[in-house]
Amino acid sequence: MLIGQDWCDAQSGERLDVENPANGEIFASIAAGGAAEIDAAVKVARKAFESAEWAKMRPIDRSRLLEQVALKIEAHADELALLESYDNGKPKHLAMMVDVPAAVEVFRYMAGWCTKIYGKTLPVSGDGRQYHAYTLRQPIGVVGAIVPWNYPLSMAAWKIASALAAGCTVVLKPSEVTSLTTLRLAELMLEAGVPPGVLNIVTGVGEKAGEALITHPDVDKIAFTGSTPVGKHILRSSANDLRRVSLELGGKSPTIIMPDADLDKAIPDAAMAIFFNSGQTCFAGSRLLCHESIYDDVIAGINEVARNLPIGPGQDANTMIGPVVNKKQRERIESYIKIGQEEGAEAISPDAELPGQGYFVKPTILSGATEQSRVFNEEIFGPVLAATKFSTEEEAIRLANKSRFGLGANLYCKNVKTAHKMAAAIHAGTVWINTYFVVDSAMPFGGFKESGIGREVGDEGVLMFTESKSVCALLDD
């Protein structure tokens, strides 16, 4: 763990095994921190927040620092991608394409924000006397950040870059399942010149380290990415002292294919929207809503794409589908495939042999999943697509919105008017039209409904780490 500039073990001496999901081998271990380490890290983060070195650093120098971090990550891209692949299972070449660039870009993007966080002057009417009134945007303070295991490096980078751009300091708890790239990122950040104490990493399980962070009285804001049940728990626990909370939670995002869609594009996109990262993406297109006139062709096409996706360890250069993150996750996904069949859906998957060892799951379509079924409504978080048909535009919108989640939606449609009308009607934080998976540091990201509260990255993402203060000065004597 990193507390200040000290790399330390847990006081209890406890450690957690790190497993390679491609073969079940334990290849490392991490410290299992708890309340004592969280308390030490928060104290150090508070001290750093109040230090002249950080608080008085010129915005332009903070900007330069974040750019240095971006360069460091870029210089270690290959190593970070490999580490992510061993830890999480994902194909290394895809981590090179997605996870690492996302981390680089958010630091580079947020470096620009350091010099652009400003308030407004306010034309107050008051009682007729003359006032000078303005708002200040001030850093919120010490941020407790908690991230999941599906995109460990980029999720950590999103939170750290945004919080630091705003002038905050951070205590971050990575997922106990995938802490390695976060620890390496922290090491690189110290090398890049980030002052000790500005970023602290406490590894450990959610019930101990995570719980200690969300209840620590000196943490000003919790920025959480993870499951909806844990997000709700964090929101409840924040009620005691009205601690600021932002939540990026689960999803059950639809891919909607309209009758006029370009199927040469829509079919491979719909397949990758669910099968990429073995379906372990919060905004995965896990529900297919397809017009009845093209439904059979689309299902056959998606299965054909799946058949051509090599399944194997993430370190093999041609692997497109790596293992899921661990045994528990594989069992959960397999149980959902059974549930889908019991509910009356047809399970369609390629004939492919799975590698003998490791936590592999075949890409699977549950065709004919009804809108009442569990597989249509619950987040599975695996390469499993719940597919159903619709007959009218209104029905497509109704089905898209028939979810307690509202993270993303992919819409395939050539008619521009229909596409924009539907984009406005869909309850989701992001709607992609004739594309999918475009997640960019400039585009605020977050969810409607039970997919979360707040937006990360973009202008909204950096302002989320600030408090707005109105200042009003009387100018008349």
Active site residues: 248
Per CB under 6 A, the segment of 11-19, 120-128, 207-215, 461-469 that binds ligand NAD is: 207-215
CB of 135 to ligand NAD, least distance (A): 29
Q: Using H for helix, E for strand and C for coil, what is the string for 117-129? A: CCCCEECCCCCCC
With respect to ligand NAD, which residue has the nearer C-beta, 3 or 234? 234
Cα–Cα distances in angstroms (integers) from residue 232 to residues 131, 159, 237, 332, in the given order: 43, 19, 9, 21
In whole angstroms, give the CA distance from residue 75 to residue 69: 10
In whole angstroms, give the CA distance from residue 255 to residue 271: 10
Q: Site map for ligand NAD, 361-400, x if CB under 6 A?
A: ------------------x-x-------------------
Residue 175 engages ligand NAD in binding (rule: CB under 6 A): yes
The secondary structure element, H or E, covering residue 236 is: helix 228-238
CB of 69 to ligand NAD, least distance (A): 21
Check if the beta carbon of residue 377 is closer than 8 Å to that of residue 252.
yes
With respect to ligand NAD, which residue has the nearer C-beta, 39 or 248? 248
In whole angstroms, give the CA distance from residue 296 to residue 287: 16
CB of 234 to ligand NAD, least distance (A): 6
The three-class DSSP label of residue 291 is: strand
Q: CA 272, 94, 222 angle in degrees (round to 5)? A: 90
Q: Which of 4, 33, 210, 458 is the binder for ligand NAD (CB under 6 A)?
A: 210
With respect to ligand NAD, which residue has the nearer C-beta, 86 or 158? 158
In this structure, what token pair is assigned to residue 115?
């010099």
Per CB under 6 A, the segment of 2-10, 94-102, 173-181, 306-314 that binds ligand NAD is: 173-181
CB of 339 to ligand NAD, least distance (A): 17
In this structure, what token pair is assigned to residue 206?
């959610």
Residue 337 engages ligand NAD in binding (rule: CB under 6 A): no
Q: Site map for ligand NAD, 398-417, x if CB under 6 A?
A: ---------x----------
CB of 173 to ligand NAD, least distance (A): 6
In whole angstroms, give the CA distance from residue 196 to residue 189: 9
Q: What is the CA radius of gyration of the chain?
A: 23
Residue 226 engages ligand NAD in binding (rule: CB under 6 A): yes
Determine the size of the site formed for ligand NAD (CB under 6 A).
Answer: 29
CB of 117 to ligand NAD, least distance (A): 23
With respect to ligand NAD, which residue has the nearer C-beta, 233 or 398? 233
Q: Which residue has the tokens 């989640």?
A: 405
CB of 430 to ligand NAD, least distance (A): 10
Check if the beta carbon of residue 31 is closer than 8 Å to that of residue 10.
yes
The three-class DSSP label of residue 88 is: helix
Q: Which of 150, 181, 255, 388 is the binder for ligand NAD (CB under 6 A)?
A: 150
Q: Interface residues for ligand NAD in 90-129 (CB under 6 A)? A: none
Q: Site map for ligand NAD, 230-259, x if CB under 6 A?
A: x--x--------------xxxx--------
- The residue count for the chain: 477
CB of 254 to ligand NAD, least distance (A): 15
Check if the beta carbon of residue 226 is closer than 8 Å to that of residue 470.
no
Per CB under 6 A, the segment of 11-19, 30-38, 56-64, 142-150 that binds ligand NAD is: 142-150
b or e along 437-476 (b: 16 or more beta carbons within 10 Å of the residue's beta carbon)? bebebeebbbbbbbbbbbbbbbebbbbbbbeeeeeeeeee
Q: Which of 148, 197, 312, 322 is the binder for ligand NAD (CB under 6 A)?
A: 148
With respect to ligand NAD, which residue has the nearer C-beta, 206 or 461? 206
With respect to ligand NAD, which residue has the nearer C-beta, 208 or 389? 208
Q: CA 225, 229, 235 angle in degrees (round to 5)? A: 70
Check if the beta carbon of residue 313 is closer than 8 Å to that of residue 355.
yes
What would you measure as the largest C-alpha separation in the chain, in angstroms? 85
Check if the beta carbon of residue 159 is closer than 8 Å to that of residue 173.
no
In this structure, what token pair is assigned to residue 164?
């630091």
In this structure, what token pair is assigned to residue 308?
């051509």
Q: Site map for ligand NAD, 273-312, x if CB under 6 A?
A: ---------x------------------------------
Q: Which of 19, 37, 211, 269 is the binder for ligand NAD (CB under 6 A)?
A: 211
Q: Which residue has the tokens 């004919």?
A: 368
CB of 210 to ligand NAD, least distance (A): 2
Name the residues that contact ligand NAD, by CB under 6 A: 146-150, 173, 175-176, 205-207, 210-211, 214, 225-227, 230, 233, 248-251, 282, 379, 381, 407, 447, 452
